[in-house]
Amino acid sequence: MTDQELVKKAFEMHQFSYVPYSHFPVGAALLTEDGRVFTGCNVENAAYGSAICAERTAVLKAVSEGCREGWTAIAIAGQGEDYCWPCGACRQVLYEFAPGLRVLAARGDGDYKEVSLAELLPCGFGPSSLQ
């Protein structure tokens, strides 16, 4: 799967986003080294703080299906002019399982930028920090 194809899968998740409050759909697609893809969308809630981001939806799908390792990249697709960088909570949740993850952040026109999770969350606190 190419990066471009992963970004496309993230955009395809906009159709499932539940965004009656922000009207800002976000899709995510998490790729593993054996070629599996776990997708996610944002799911909002009338109690606003109970919303979950697209990235964490994808993470929870992967982990709950027994896939905790070998994550290579995540594509995140928003809309509008800005690249859709993961929020702080999602950076932390991704760091738990894949501190070296490649992050592809896309904006509405399909253009995207690649950064590493380590760049987005320097000096992160992870499992090894507890040892």
Q: DSSP assignment, residue 82?
A: S
User: What is the H or E stretch that residue 58 is in?
Assistant: helix 54-64
Residue 22, interface with ligand THU (CB under 6 A)?
yes
Instruction: Establish whether 55 is a catalytic residue.
Output: yes
The residue with tokens 């090894």 is 128
Instruction: For ligand THU, give the closer residue by CB, 25 or 37.
Output: 25
Q: Which stretch binds ligand THU (CB under 6 A): 3-11, 79-87, 109-117, 121-129?
A: 79-87
- With b meaning 16 or more CB within 10 Å and e meaning fewer, what string describes 9-34? bbbebbeebeeeeeeebbbbbbbbee
CA atoms within 13 A on the CB side of 71: 31
Residue 89, interface with ligand THU (CB under 6 A)?
no
Q: Name residues contacting ligand THU, limited to 35-54 (CB under 6 A).
A: 42, 44, 51, 53-54
Residue 120, interface with ligand THU (CB under 6 A)?
no
Question: Could you list the residues that contact ligand THU (CB under 6 A)?
Answer: 19, 22, 24, 26, 42, 44, 51, 53-55, 76, 84, 86-87, 90
